[in-house]
Amino acid sequence: MRFDDKVVLVTGGSSGIGRATCLSFAAAGGRVFVTDVDAERGAETVAQIEAANGEAEFLRMDVTDADSVAAAVEVVTARARRLDVLVNAAGWDIIEPFLENSAAYMDKVVALNFMGPVKVIKGLLPLLIESGSGRIVNVASDAGRVGSSGEAVYAGAKGGVIALTKSLAREVTRNNVRVNCVCPGPTDTPLFATQSEKMRDALVRAIPMRRLGKAEEVADAILFFASNRASFITGQVLSVSGGLTMAG
């Protein structure tokens, strides 16, 4: 899969699945806008890409802030004048019982994991339509497909991303924009590493493949949906979970 002459924007590009996705697109020839709130780590992603002779630049964007999103849209419009692929990979969560969720925690989870993609898509959709073959890949979670104990609000937000994907796909197909969704299971990322050792071990035992997913493996699924090989696929949800969630 090649993305030569394609312009790609990835949210959450400073680490984890977002960083792996940026690296993969750049390695396949894409020009990548790495966006995140963490400028230092975002610059590290860009440096990795440039060290491998790829093309990338960092844009600070807070997906929860409409003004920040609008500013990023202006920069992409001015510098690239087009956008071919949008990947919504920014996300955040902690695992705790629902009754312990604070109002601030719930607001942040919904703002980042659901309304973030909504705001970014709303801002960048005109550029994707103008490209003539835009691709949107939303990164949700298997928690949004089948539920997850200790992640009720997060699962609800990610379930919203799945529904957003399907509904938007129906609207923009006539504009030749494809919208699909990747749902990772437990993946070896810095965010996952913040979980307790007991929780991490339990999840690994539950996965039929007996290991965590790699961020690069999720990126492979994202690149497939963004590629011409998925030209007749839209509104679909793909689980990348090592067999953990085979139904739902």
Active site residues per annotation: 154
Burial class (CB in 10 A: 0-12, 13-18, 19+), 198: exposed
Number of C-beta neighbours around residue 2 at 10 A? 12
CA 210 vs CA 144, 162, 226: distances in Å: 22, 27, 29
Q: What is the DSSP letter of 115?
A: I
Angle (CA) 95 98 102, round 5°: 90
Backbone angles phi, psi at 212, to 5 degrees: -75, 155
